[in-house]
C-alpha cells in the first residue's frame, strides 16, 4: 500500500535510517563533494540545467547540505529541506552564517510551500526513496512557477550494470583483504535492503519508469543527462575501491520543466 496513511511506518523507518547515518554520512564515498574536479563537475551539471541567473531554489532532502553548498556557490537563493532533524543539524552547522539559505524540517513529498513559489526544485538521491512518487511529483509541479525547472540526480540502485557486477566482485575481494569500509552502508545494509523492498522504486528507478510519471502530472521537455563527467571526476582522486564503486550502478541526471 502506498497511501500516506499506509506508509507511515515506512517513512519513519526511512527517517530513522538516515538520522542514524547523519554523523558519518559525509565520510562515505560519493556523499561529500570534495573541492576540485568533482565539485566543478557537479557545479557544471547544475549550471547547465538551471542557467547562469540566480534562482529561488527549493532543495529537497538536503541531507548534510552538500548539494546546498554547490547551489550557494552558484549564487542561488536556497530553501533546503529534510525530514531528518539529525541530518539538518549537520547541514545547519556546515552552513552557519551563510547568506541566501534557509533550512526547513519538512517532508519532501509534501513540503506545503506556496503555489508557484520557486524557479527550480533540485534534489540528489531522493527520488528512489519516494513512497508516493506521483503525488510528490504533482506537489513539486504545483510549487514551481510556470516554466520552472525540476532537476534531479539519481540512479537505479537495485540492479548493478554488467560492469558493476564485476566491480562488485572486486570490491568484495578488496573488503576481504583490507577490511570493510565502516561508512559505506556497513552494518546498516540489511536495514537498507528491507526499506528498498517496500519502496515503489525499490526494484529499480529507471528513466523509462520515471518519465511517464512526470509527464502525467504536467512536466515537459524532459532531458536526460549523463552522470559520466561526474564519475570521471570522482575517479581522479579516489582509491581503487572507490573507483570501482563509481562503476556499480546506472546513474542519470533528469531535468524537466513545468
Q: Give the binding site for ligand SAM (CB under 6 A).
A: 14-15, 18, 31, 61-63, 66-67, 82-84, 87, 107-109, 123-126, 129
Rounded to a whole number of angstroms, the minimum distance from the CB of residue 231 to ligand SAM is 15
Task: Tally Cβ neighbours within 10 Å of residue 222.
Answer: 16
Identify whether the C-beta of residue 251 lies closer than 8 Å to the C-beta of residue 158: no
- Sequence-distant (6+) residues with CB within 8 A of 157 are 128, 196, 204, 205, 249
State which residue, 16 or 170, has the beta carbon closest to ligand SAM. 16
Neighbours of 122 (CB within 10 A): 28
Q: Which of 235, 173, 237, 159 is nearest to 203 (CA)?
A: 159
Report yes or no: 120 and 150 within 8 Å, Cβ to Cβ.
yes
Grid cell, residue 162, equals: 554488467
Which residue, 4 or 221, is less far from ligand SAM as judged by CB? 4
Judged by beta carbon, residue 85 or residue 221, the one nearer ligand SAM is 85
Q: Which is nearer to ligand SAM, 47 or 169 (CB)?
A: 47
CB of 173 to ligand SAM, least distance (A): 26
Tell me the residue number closest to ligand SAM, measured at CB.
63
Q: How far is the CB of 176 from ligand SAM (least distance, A)?
A: 27
Residue pair 215/222 in contact (Cβ under 8 Å)? The answer is: yes
Instruction: Give the nearer residue to ligand SAM in terms of CB position, either 107 or 119.
Output: 107
Q: How far is the CB of 33 from ligand SAM (least distance, A)?
A: 8
Minimum CB distance to ligand SAM, residue 106 (Å): 7
Amino acid at each position: 500500500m502506498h497511501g500516506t496513511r499506509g506508509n507511515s511506518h515506512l517513512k519513519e523507518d526511512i527517517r530513522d535510517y538516515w538520522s542514524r547515518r547523519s554523523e558519518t554520512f559525509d565520510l562515505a564515498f560519493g556523499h561529500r563533494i570534495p573541492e576540485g574536479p568533482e565539485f566543478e563537475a557537479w557545479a557544471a551539471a547544475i549550471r547547465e540545467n538551471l542557467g547562469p541567473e540566480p534562482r529561488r531554489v527549493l532543495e529537497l532532502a538536503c541531507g548534510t547540505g552538500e548539494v546546498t553548498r554547490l547551489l550557494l556557490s552558484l549564487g542561488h537563493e536556497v530553501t533546503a529541506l529534510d525530514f531528518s532533524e539529525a541530518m539538518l543539524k549537520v547541514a545547519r552547522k556546515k552552513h552557519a552564517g551563510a547568506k541566501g539559505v534557509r533550512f526547513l524540517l519538512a517532508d519532501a513529498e509534501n513540503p506545503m510551500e506556496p503555489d508557484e513559489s520557486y524557479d527550480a526544485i533540485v534534489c540528489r538521491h531522493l527520488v528512489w526513496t519516494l513512497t508516493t512518487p506521483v503525488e510528490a511529483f504533482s506537489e513539486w509541479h504545483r510549487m514551481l512557477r510556470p516554466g520552472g525547472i525540476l532537476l534531479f540526480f539519481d540512479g537505479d540502485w537495485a540492479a548493478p550494470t554488467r560492469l558493476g557486477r564485476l566491480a562488485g566482485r572486486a570490491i568484495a575481494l578488496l573488503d576481504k583483504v583490507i577490511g570493510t569500509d565502516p561508512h559505506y552502508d556497513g552494518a546498516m545494509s540489511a536495514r537498507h535492503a528491507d526499506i528498498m523492498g517496500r519502496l515503489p522504486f525499490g526494484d529499480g528507478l529507471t528513466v523509462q519508469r520515471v518519465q511517464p510519471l512526470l509527464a502525467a502530472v504536467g512536466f515537459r521537455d524532459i532531458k536526460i543527462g549523463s552522470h559520466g563527467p561526474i564519475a570521471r571526476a570522482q575517479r581522479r582522486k579516489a582509491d581503487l575501491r572507490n573507483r570501482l564503486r563509481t562503476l556499480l550502478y546506472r546513474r542519470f541526471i533528469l531535468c524537466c520543466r513545468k
